[in-house]
Amino acid sequence: MDLKFEPIRLDKQQAYAALLQRCPQVSSDYSYSNIFSWAEEYGLQWTWIDDLVWVRQTRPDEFFWAPLGQWKNTDWQLFFDRYAPPGTTFTRVPEKLLDLWNKVAAHRLGVTEERRNWDYVYDCNELVELKGNRFHKKKNLLRQFIKKYDYRYLPFGPDLIEAAMAMQADWCSWRDCESSSILSAENRSVHKVLTHWDDLQGLTGGVIQVEDLIVAYTIAEQLSPDTVVIHYEKGCPDYKGVYQAINQMFLAGLNGKFRWVNREQDLGEEGLRKAKLSYNPVQFLKKFRVTVR
């Protein structure tokens, strides 16, 4: 396998985005801001071959992520013969790519569902309007927040970065990030995004202030023409309903620009899975672990 990998680079952001937009199915893992912000944590690198970009993870173990680009124009039989000898393992492989692989090499592939990495996809309008019994608890908590607090919602911008970093530091104190490798890594990822806010394209977000203090923020990114992905969503636990408020107000502020909202994975955490299911996803973007035999 003659592949030369290099660090994730900012100067290739536009070229990467162009390949991503040609990809038939885009999961949250593969947004540029995601791979850029998590590059150090996972030891991510990439290589560019045959109109594809291929990401390699080197920490804590070595895996390959799915190649991205116009999958239907790729000779996958040749790809496996040339670049993926027996023992090669891919993670986070989207369902549509696996379908293409199975058509040419099913007998060579060992496949396992990665339920912890499935993306949760929601209808934006449903999460703005919160109609019906399915969303009764969410809407009730939102109403309590609106009634109780003298708040204001603001779109995220460079002028709010310092205050958002301060709130993130407080959030880590509340959640004791130092005792969790996952939360510590996420905290570093947040700081990388905020530090490079002006360098990263397509980022958006919002904050809620109460008495000029940020009590919640969200950071998101356009994933495809009709989908926005929420990367981070944090709220102060002292404000009841704050998570329901930041979620609803951010999506309402997009003014119908997107049909779908991708809220990423649950990482196999029971509490996170319960929370994501409680918002009634309309579909899952399934991903798989694939080992070449």
The whole-angstrom separation of Cα 10 and Cα 16 is 10
pTM of the model: 0.95
Which tokens is 273 given? 């899975």
Q: What is the mean pLDDT of the chain?
A: 96
The whole-angstrom separation of Cα 240 and Cα 244 is 9
Give me the percent of the chain exceeding a pLDDT of 70: 100
Those residues whose C-beta lies under 8 Å from the C-beta of residue 159, and which sit 6 or more positions away, are: none
Which pLDDT belongs to residue 125?
A: 98
One-letter-per-residue 3-state SS of 100-164? HHHHHHHHHEEEEECHHHCEEEEEHHHHHHCCCHHHHHHHHHHHHHHHHCCEEEEECCHHHHHHH
Question: What's the mean pLDDT in 160-172?
Answer: 96
Phi-psi group of 228: left, alpha or beta (phi > 0 → left; psi -120 to 50 → alpha; rest → beta): beta
The whole-angstrom separation of Cα 73 and Cα 67 is 13
CA-nearest of 158, 266, 256 to 204 is 158
Judge whether residue 267 has pLDDT over 80.
yes
Question: What's the mean pLDDT in 265-288?
Answer: 97
The whole-angstrom separation of Cα 83 and Cα 71 is 15
Judge whether residue 168 has pLDDT over 80.
yes
Judge whether residue 225 has pLDDT over 80.
yes
As a residue count, the chain comes to: 293
Segments of the chain assigned E as strands: 6-7, 45-49, 52-57, 63-65, 68-69, 89-94, 109-113, 119-123, 151-155, 203-210, 213-224, 227-235, 260-262, 283-285, 287-292
Which pLDDT belongs to residue 137?
A: 97
Q: What are the beta bridge partners of residue 59? A: none
Cα–Cα distances (Å) from 9 to 6, 12, 13, 49, 96, in that order, read: 8, 6, 7, 16, 27
The whole-angstrom separation of Cα 277 and Cα 68 is 28
Residue 141 sits at φ, ψ, to 5 deg, of -65, -40
pLDDT band at 3 (very low <50, low <70, confident <90, very high): confident
Question: What's the mean pLDDT in 280-293?
Answer: 98
Which pLDDT belongs to residue 228?
A: 98
User: For 203-236, b where at least 16 C-beta lie within 10 A, e where not — what string?
Assistant: bbbbbbbbeeebbbbbbbbbbbeebbbbbbbbbb
Judge whether residue 79 has pLDDT over 80.
yes
pLDDT band at 50 (very low <50, low <70, confident <90, very high): confident
Nearest-10 crossing angle of helices 181-195, 161-175:
180
Q: What is the pLDDT of residues 193-222, one digit of tens each?
A: 999 999 999 999 999 999 989 999 999 999
Those residues whose C-beta lies under 8 Å from the C-beta of residue 39, and which sit 6 or more positions away, are: 7, 8, 45
| Rg, the chain, Cα only | 20
Question: What's the mean pLDDT in 31-46?
Answer: 97
Domains along the chain with CATH numbers? 6-118 (3.40.630.30), 119-264 (3.40.630.30)
Q: What is the pLDDT of residues 99-139, one digit of tens each?
A: 999 999 999 999 999 999 999 999 999 999 999 999 999 99
Give me the percent of the chain exceeding a pLDDT of 90: 98
Judge whether residue 1 has pLDDT over 70.
no
Judge whether residue 2 has pLDDT over 90.
no
Which pLDDT belongs to residue 291?
A: 98
Cα angle at 70 between 21 and 219, to 5 degrees? 25
Q: Which amino acid is at 5?
A: F
